[in-house]
Amino acid sequence: MIRLLDNSDRTKPVLIVGAGISGIACARELRDHGVPFKIINKGMKIGGRMASKSVRDSGTQYDGRVFDIGASYFTVSDPGFMELTDSMLNAGVVADWTDTFHVADSQGLGGVKVGPMRYTARKGIRSVVEYLAQDLEITEGEVTDLDEIVLREQYSSIALCMPTPQAAKIYPEAATISPAQWEPVIAVSFLFAEKIWRDFDGVFVNGDNEITWIANDGTRRGDHAPALVAHVHPVLASHHLMDPQAVIPFALRAVQRTLGFIETPIWSHAHRWTFAKPLEGSTSALPLSHVGQISLAGDEFSEKPRVEAAWLSGRDLGRNLAQKFS
Ligand SMILES: Cc1cc2nc3c(=O)[nH]c(=O)nc-3n(C[C@H](O)[C@H](O)[C@H](O)COP(=O)(O)OP(=O)(O)OC[C@H]3O[C@@H](n4cnc5c(N)ncnc54)[C@H](O)[C@@H]3O)c2cc1C
């Protein structure tokens, strides 16, 4: 059981753990209200599940090119998030990608489905979080002992901005706060020698046991490189979390079958997300963030878990903490 924080001293900073979009939204809100904070993030790169991976050693001109291996795109419905997106469109950080995706089943491509605008970032989706965090100082490190941090009494409050299964490793109570169920994804990136498929932006693959989605990373990035990213079905992914590379042949076969070609890639990469997405429907009763002695924020605190929900959750937590400490 974590001891209670002494939050009577308002000069002490808030500790934000996690520099995904929810942690950064929380930090920006605190900064705007003049509340001191410190951000700690595990790993050399920020952005969390808004992640991009550079091609290495492909022996082609594409070395250094980034693939989006986490969130595929983001959509916008909230006016505050629209305002932020407009400012990033004006700054050239994000761009319209498409409102039209194909659908497919295990036999191959079917028709198209028109939906909301999907936004992308030409430099990779991670660049969105990097842009939002550009004026913020972020300390690299993994928080492993929250009790010890509380005991040192350096912080007025602690905000855990990450999936609750990750938060529960350092704050076991988190597991009882959010009922969200999580599913894994393995994202497989493929670079081909040339484009050998007909034009498309993305394909929702229904009723297939191997993949659920194919993104055309060439149209997404705007460079029209012969680049695809497939998301492996959660059941198949769950069997290969210890060895994600092993799913590459399954994913390739499913992509070939869906798009109708037999060529093989010149470079491929598999990335495992153990806690990729909260299951829609498992999160509905939750408020936008959990504010307590130790607070939680992230995409699962919404009926529609996604990038926008994570941003709203972090922003709302930041607002709540700012009200308390400014
Ligand atoms: C494969 C995949 C596809 C997706 N597709 C879409 C999509 O198309 N559209 C959409 O809107 N959303 C999509 N999402 C969801 C979207 O990425 C998330 O909703 C959003 O990025 C969540 O942001 P977050 O800040 O809440 O969490 P995260 O991005 O997970 O950030 C958490 C951060 O906390 C850090 N952290 C964790 N534990 C610790 C610790 N102990 N100490 C320090 N730091 C720690 C992590 O390193 C990470 O940087 C997708 C996600 C995945 C994985």
H or E segment to which residue 296 belongs: strand 294-297
Cβ atoms of residues 195 and 224 within 8 Å: yes
The answer to whether residues 41 and 187 belong to one domain is no
Q: What is the CATH number for 152?
A: 3.50.50.60
Characterize the bridge pairing of strands 227-232 and 182-191: antiparallel
Residue found under tokens 């930041």: 318
Cβ atoms of residues 297 and 9 within 8 Å: no
The answer to whether residues 248 and 100 belong to one domain is yes
Q: What is the spatial distance between Cα 126 and Cα 45, in angstroms, rounded to a whole number? A: 9
pLDDT band at 282 (very low <50, low <70, confident <90, very high): confident
The answer to whether residues 23 and 76 belong to one domain is no
Per-residue pLDDT reduced to its tens digit, 75-124 = 999 999 999 999 999 999 999 999 999 999 877 888 999 999 999 999 99
- Residue 19, in any domain of the structure: yes
- Residue 284, in any domain of the structure: no
The answer to whether residues 252 and 202 belong to one domain is yes
The answer to whether residues 120 and 165 belong to one domain is no
Q: What is the spatial distance between Cα 312 and Cα 159, in angstroms, rounded to a whole number? A: 14
The answer to whether residues 121 and 192 belong to one domain is yes
Per-residue pLDDT reduced to its tens digit, 10-50 = 789 999 999 999 999 999 999 999 999 999 999 999 999 99
**Cα 315 to averaged position of ligand 1 atoms, centre (Å):** 15
The answer to whether residues 68 and 194 belong to one domain is yes
**Cα 209 to averaged position of ligand 1 atoms, centre (Å):** 24
Neighbours of 219 (CB within 10 A): 18
Q: What is the pTM of this model?
A: 0.96
**Cα 107 to averaged position of ligand 1 atoms, centre (Å):** 32
Nearest-CA residue for atom 53 of ligand 1: 276
- Ligand 1 contacts (CB < 6 A) are 17-23, 40-43, 48-50, 70-74, 142-143, 161-163, 166, 170, 185, 187, 231, 273, 276-277, 298-299, 305-307, 310
Q: Is 224 left (phi over 0), alpha (psi -120 to 50) or beta?
A: left
Total number of domains constituting the chain: 2
- Residue 17 belongs to what domain range? 1-46+133-177+289-326
The answer to whether residues 272 and 295 belong to one domain is no
Q: What is the CATH number for 91?
A: 3.90.660.10
**Overall size of the chain counted in residues:** 326
The answer to whether residues 31 and 58 belong to one domain is no
Q: Which tokens is 161 given? A: 């901005």
The answer to whether residues 188 and 324 belong to one domain is no
Characterize the bridge pairing of strands 227-232 and 157-161: unpaired
Closest atom of ligand 1 to 23 CA is: 25
